[in-house]
Structure 1
Amino acid sequence: MSGPTDLAGELHPDIEALLGMIAAGVESGARTPLPQLTPQAAREDFDASSPLLDLEADPLPFERAFDLPTRDGAVIAARLYAPRAPSTEGPLPVTLALHSGGFVVGSLDSHEWLWRNLAEGSGGAVLAIAYRLAPEHRFPTAFEDACDALAWIGREGPALGLDTGRVALCGDSAGGTLAAALAIAARDEAGLPKPVFQALAYPGLSSRQDTESFRRYGRGYLLEAETVAWFFAQYLRGEADRDDWRFAPLAAPDLAGVAPALIVLPEFDPLLDEGRAYAARLQEAGVAAEVRVYPGMVHEFLRMCSITEDALTAQQEISRALAQAFGKASA
């Protein structure tokens, strides 16, 4: 699989310019850091800034919005994207997509262009869900919503023309955390489809933020240590939740038998080391896991197509990996 592997040791110039603009905005008072906002204001800020980062992706031939039921009787919004109607030429493989945002922000709208690109690039459908956010819905609600969405694919997918034997998981940041944890749950729970692949972009995986990369890049590289602490204060019920593998997949005692993984990491990311550590744990457990480190990039770069071509390159790499996994599963 092609893609960058060597570290350049310097920020990409366009990323450096973006970080400078953000810092200047904070210093001038034009921009308020997320931890100083209410959760609702933070969501509005995140959604408003998202279109400025990504490039617009045209609607696909098949898109559908609907509500998806959860175990406690609530419903969550969902969108299905596909390069063709699932019923026209046989069942389509499907990727369950989980957005970033520290379990507090992020939405279907903030990631719509990314999910469209992955559907088109992978040749399969993408089911994106608006899992419930904290602090209104604390841990483990987001994880349970993800589980319920995967179970829904197993129940309802065939009637919609989705191939429940070719299901993948994909998420960025907190969404990557959920995807990794869901891969573990799917291995163990009889009622869940067994994913054939998991694509994780800069996921949070550790119980504690005490790595060298977190110390080195926890300030001034977009994802701030203070923001991470604020996210977790909104999401977790208490300190004991930190050691639950549904929040920190590195805490899982056994990773054998989970889906093969592609882990996409930016060089200048506080979460770099835990992503590498998780890949090592997977490999030690006999799971095929590939790490792709993008030099000069920062957290959330996957949705920065208007800033850097590396974002589109990473999206294409994930799409190819999904398509390859789907092809192997149908062989």
Structure 2
Amino acid sequence: MPLHPEAQEIVSRAAILGQGEAPAVPASAAEMREQFRQVWSMPDDLPSVGGVVDTVFPGPAGDVPIRVYTPEGEGPFPVFVWFHGGGWTIGSLDENEVSCRTVCAGANVVVVSVDYRLAPENPYPAAAEDCYAAVRWVHENPEAVNADPARIAVGGESAGGNLAAVAALKARDLGGPRLALQVLVSPVLGHPDDGRASYRDYSEGYFLSKASMDWFFTTYPRDARDLEDPYLLPLRAKDLSGLPPAVVLGAEYDVLRDEGEDYAEALRAAGVPVDMVRYEGLIHGFFGLLSRELSDSAKAHRRVIDALRAAYAKGDR
């Protein structure tokens, strides 16, 4: 379908401001972060939850900041470990404030949002290690976040979706914990040069460009050998069996669309239950970053809330 009018407005504004496209000479990571900070602001009308606390947990290379959203009630609650996007290079906990609060209240779940180490200062495998460590820490220290260690799910958007898929792989391969669900929103799972049609059709002019993705792939991997590691690119995995059920959400006008759908099909082929949805007319960032500007984001939030409730209910049996 045509680009949604709300998405078109965002794309038009981004073109005027020079957002959403990599500059001819890529800025440094620090400059990219500062540019992003200047054009994004926290909404005033945040969804209500029982409580929000910023704290840290002991990660593999020092303390890792987390933001813990707790619903109303006594608990212990199921827990959803969330990873923000930003090409492993930019982004923070703040941009997902609305979506994390919405899921927390709607699914009656503790959301633990992880501020993992960023590249290029901390290249692969730093982010992947921090995110899996967060999952293990929640499982081993549930009382710290009022969580039920038997009901844990992971999720993320864009690079965060990559890290959620990687955390699920690591949990399968490295001794747990058992996960109830993986939520992959516009995930990075392959490489920009893998030849997928969405990278050709939406390479520029749709908020996230191929040039931007190319640049992110200069900051996170250490060298070309990392690109064959499934803990960096899960589509390189030779075996996807035994992974938790997945919800894979993508936008029609997104360079990352096809790799998300390819991964969903590969999971199905391996016997993993998958709910895959393509949101027609939408662009990258619809779940978290742009959720206040795209009314259809509410449909995606509800899909995830319902999926989490169903997955946790199975864990109660």
Q: TM-score range by the shorter chain?
A: over 0.9
Say yes or no: does 1:11 pair with 2:20: no
Which amino acid letter does the alignment assign opposite residue 235 of structure 2? Answer: L
**SS of match in other structure, 1:290:** strand
Say yes or no: does 1:223 pair with 2:203: no
Say yes or no: does 1:22 pair with 2:11: no
Which amino acid letter does the alignment assign opposite residue 149 of structure 2? Answer: T
C-alpha change, 1:40 and 1:292, in structure 2 (3 Å) is same
2:69 corresponding residue in structure 1 = 81
TM-score calculated relative to the size of structure 2: 0.94
**SS of match in other structure, 1:169:** strand
Post-superposition CA distance 1:155-202 (Å, at most 9, x none) = 111454311110000100000000011111111212x31111011100
Is 1:47–1:110's contact at 8 Å kept on the other side of the alignment?
Answer: no
**SS of match in other structure, 1:111:** helix
Q: How far apart, CA to CA, are the structure 2 residues paired with 1:323 and 1:33? A: 37
* 1:71 aligns with one of 49, 60, 73: 60
Say yes or no: does 1:246 pair with 2:231: yes
Q: Which moved more, 1:154-163 or 1:234-243?
A: 154-163
**SS of match in other structure, 1:16:** helix
Shift of 1:59: 4.7
**SS of match in other structure, 1:84:** coil
Shift of 1:124: 0.6
Say yes or no: does 1:131 pair with 2:116: yes
Is 1:173–1:202's contact at 8 Å kept on the other side of the alignment?
Answer: yes
C-alpha change, 1:159 and 1:70, in structure 2 (3 Å) is closer
2:188 corresponding residue in structure 1 = 204
Shift of 1:297: 0.4
Is 1:65–1:80's contact at 8 Å kept on the other side of the alignment?
Answer: yes
C-alpha change, 1:227 and 1:55, in structure 2 (3 Å) is farther
1:37 corresponding residue in structure 2 = 27
Post-superposition CA distance 1:81-124 (Å, at most 9, x none) = 01125xx2x42000000000000011011212221111111111
* 2:154 aligns with one of 136, 148, 169: 169
Q: How far apart, CA to CA, are the structure 2 residues paired with 1:265 and 1:237? A: 28
Q: Which runs of 5+ in 2 are unaligned?
A: none
* 1:313 aligns with one of 282, 291, 299: 299
Is 1:132–1:145's contact at 8 Å kept on the other side of the alignment?
Answer: yes
C-alpha change, 1:290 and 1:38, in structure 2 (3 Å) is same
Post-superposition CA distance 1:15-43 (Å, at most 9, x none) = 112211211223xxxx6955533212222
Shift of 1:222: 0.9
For 1:83-232, list aligned pairs within 5 A.
83-84=71-72, 88=74, 90-158=75-143, 160-190=145-175, 192-207=176-191, 208-232=193-217
Structure with the bigger RCO (C-alpha within 8 Å, sep 6+) is 1
CA RMSD of aligned residues (A): 1.7
Q: How far apart, CA to CA, are the structure 1 residues paired with 2:212 and 2:45? A: 27
Which amino acid letter does the alignment assign opposite residue 190 of structure 2? Answer: S
Which amino acid letter does the alignment assign opposite residue 183 of structure 2? Answer: A
**SS of match in other structure, 1:168:** strand
Identity over aligned residues, as a percent?
33
Q: How far apart, CA to CA, are the structure 2 residues paired with 1:329 and 1:48? A: 43
Q: How far apart, CA to CA, are the structure 1 residues paired with 2:38 and 2:157? A: 18
Shift of 1:65: 1.5
Shift of 1:48: 3.9
Q: Which moved more, 1:115-124 or 1:156-165?
A: 156-165
Is 1:200–1:263's contact at 8 Å kept on the other side of the alignment?
Answer: yes
2:284 corresponding residue in structure 1 = 299
